[in-house]
Structure 1
C-alpha cells in the first residue's frame, strides 16, 4: 500500500482558494474513483470534489470551515497497487513530483513550481518527515496560528444568531473545535460576567434576546459580489432608463402557453418571455451586447447573446449564464432559465457557468418591488430589471380598465451605449410585451 495525498485542485476561473464546507467521508472509509468526498465553497459556487483514487481514507488534513489554497493537501489515501517506500513518507509539500490525476470538471493543476505554500491553520498539525537518526526524535508540538476560530458552519451560524464572537470562545472539541456546547456555556455565563452594578433577574436573563453585534465574515459569494459591484460602479459611468408597460397580452400568452405545454421544465413564465423579448430587441440595438476593452481601447461587440440570469441564493447573488440564448426557442430558453436558477439556489452551479455573460436580466418583481436601478455586471454593457406585475387601472382602448402593468429598468454603461440606443432597446422590449404579435416587425 502507498500513501498518496490529494491537494485542492485548480477549480478554474482564476480562483486561488476555497473553504471546506463538509466532508462526505471519514478516516477509515473505503472510496472509489470519482466518489464525492468533500464539498468546498469558492467565491462563486459550491463545488463537489470527487476522489482521485480507489483506496482508503487515512487522514483528513483540514476541518470544515477552514479556507484552503489551491495546492494545499486535503486528504491522504492508502492506495493499493504500489509497495510503500522504505523511507518515511515526505511532507505534503514534498510530494508534488508525481502528478495527480486531473479530475472531471477541474481545471489544470498548478505546476509544482507555482504551487502556493501551505498556510498554518488553527489546530491542524502538518505531517513532518521522520528523523533519520537511530532513535526517533519526539514530534514537534504543533503551533496553532490564530487566523480563524475553528468551528463547523452550523456552529458559526448559531454564533452569529446569538451575537457571540467566536474569537473569544475556547473550543473543547477535537483540535480546539468550537462546539454548540461551548456556545451554550458562553451564553449562560454572559450575564454573570457583565461588569455593571445592576444585574438582570435570573428569569429575565434566561429569556432576554441577544442584543450584541453580529459580525459576518466578508467572504465567498458576498465578497466576490461586493468587489464586482464596486468595480462596476466606480469604473463605468452608468445611467438608467425606465418604462412602464401594459403587459396584459403577455400575461394571457403565458397562461395559454403553460396550459398547452405538458413538460413542466419547458413551461414559460414571465421571466422567460422577457428574456426572449430582450434577445429579439438586441438584433436592432447590438451595442448593448458589448463590453469595454480598456487595454486595447476597443468596444467589443459580441455576435452571440450569452444571457446572465441574476438569482438570489442563500449564499448571495449569483448570475449563471444561458449560452447562446438568442438561438433558443422560447420553450428551451424557459427550461434553461429555470434549471440555472434552481441549480444556483441549490448551490450547485459550476464556476464556469458564472462567467462569460454579455448582458443580464434581474427580476426584482419576485420580491414585490416595482422598480430599481440595477448595477451593470462587470464586463457587460447593460442589465435589464423587471418589477412586479400589478393589476391596476390603466388607459385601454380609449377608456380605463384593469390591466397587468409592469415597470422595466435598463441600466447601461454610458461609455458604450448612449441614451438613444438604450431607450430604443427598452422601447422594443416594451412593445413586444405589450403586443407579442409585434415580434413580426423585429424579425
Structure 2
C-alpha cells in the first residue's frame, strides 16, 4: 500500500487527508498538537469572546471512522529523502512513499529589535491564550491601580493593518467597552487606547480602496487610533517606537504584521525556499528537487496558476489556498498511482472577508462586488460557522455569539495562567509577559 505522510494538521493538512480517505493509500498525519485549530477565530479567544476549546477539535476524532488514516502525535525534525523516512523527535521514523508538507507558518518580525521578545503573535491557540491572560491582567491592573492607567496598561498597540489586525483592534475596543459597562471595572474608559500601526497608507490592501476606507472610518468611529504609513522601529516592554521618532507607551503589542515559514523547516527538509521564506514548488505543487514531496498552504509559495493575469503570481496565505492546495496535492498522488500525469494547480478565488466588530464586516467577491455593514457581518458569521469543525463547536459558538449580541455581554473573561506572586516568593521568568511562542505547526 502506498504510504502518505502529511506533516501538519492545519487547513491544508486536513484537506489533503480528507481527499485520501477511503483511497488505496495508508495516510499518517503528524503534528505536535493533537488538535486542529480554527485560526480565523483565534482573535476571539485572545479577546475573551470564546473559549479555547470552541476553536479546536481533536484530530483523532475527525478521522476516527477513516480506516486508512491514522494520527501520530510528534514533532518532525527532518526528512531523509534517500531512505524515504520522516524523522520524528523521540520516536521511530515514519516510512513514506509520498510526503505532504503542510507545516504552516509563524509570525514574521522583519528583524525589528524587540518585536519577537515583547510582542504577542496570534497564530496558535497557545498564542491566543497567552494574549487573553495578559490583556485581562492589564484590565485588572488598571482597576487596582488607577494612577497607573495613564502610564500604559490600557494602551494596546496592534501592528498590522490586514484582516487579523483589524479584527483584533475592533475586538479589543469592544472588550474595553464591555469591561466598564458590565464587569464592574472602575477605571476611566477614556484612558484606554487602541492604536493600529501599519507601514502602508491604507488598511486591508487585498481589498478595494472603498472597503479599506469603510474599515478605517468604522475603526475610528469606535475610538481606535490609526497610525498608517508608519513603521515600527523598536519594541520594548514599555513602549513602541515608530519611524517618525514618536513613542507609544504600552505593555501590550499584538503582532499581526505578517507570517513566514520557520527557517528550520527548509533546513530540516533540505528544500529550496523563495525570498519570502516559503518552500518552492513546481506547478503541480511538488517540491522543487524532491519528486516525492509536496508543499501546500502557508508553508509553500503556491502558484496562482491559470486564470491569473500576472505570470508567476503567488497565492496569498489564506485558509482557502491551504484547503484547495491540500486537495490538489492529494489528487496528484492518486494520479501517479493510476499511472496518469500530474496537473498544475489552479487557485479558484472565492472572495475575501474581514470583520471589524459588531454589525460591521466586509465581504469582497471575486468580481469585486462588496457587501459590508450588517449584511457583511452576517455573511462572515455564517461562513465561519460552516467551516468550523465539529457540530458541538458550531452550536456553542452560535449560542455565544447570540448571547453576546442580545445582552451586550462578552465571553469567558478568566485568567488561567500564573497566579499573583507574593513579594517574598520567586517570580517565574517573564511572568505576565509574552514568552517565545510555539513554532506554528512547524516540523
- Tell me whether the two structures share a fold, i.e. TM-score over 0.5: no
Q: Which has the higher contact order (CA 8 A, sep 6+)?
A: 2
For the pair shown, which has the larger CA radius of gyration, 1 or 2?
A: 1
